[in-house]
Structure 1
Amino acid sequence: MDENGDARELNQYFFASAKRGRPPMPTEQRKRRVNLMLAPDVIAALKARGSMSAQVDKILREALGL
């Protein structure tokens, strides 16, 4: 945005210094990969709800009172 609040033209100078994506999260806030053994019926129920990782995270947060 320029000083008048208008969108600037995206020219070669903009793209020369542009960076892709968003800045990385602080290390202490990043999610970490873990291996977890679950029963087949639990896996099927989680898959039916959508993203297994997000569902497990949500369910565990609720169960742990976080």
Structure 2
Amino acid sequence: MVLGSRVRDIRHSRDMTQEQLAEFLEVSPRYLAGIERGERNLTLDSVDVLADQLGVDSLTLLSRR
């Protein structure tokens, strides 16, 4: 759930909707919503790709702050 919360925090800090961030990440809004709710189990490689796309360090997405 930490990952989803961090993605949501980043999205909010950028004042983006789920739809806008999903478009930016080139994923479906439903997939992004699943990540934010902690329903998607991402591999470490997927976390690395997501972090790169968001312009943050992978540990930022995995740590509580």
TM-score (norm 1): 0.27
| Structure having the higher Rg | 1
Q: Which has the higher contact order (CA 8 A, sep 6+)?
A: 2
Q: Report the structure, 1 or 2, having the larger helix content.
A: 2
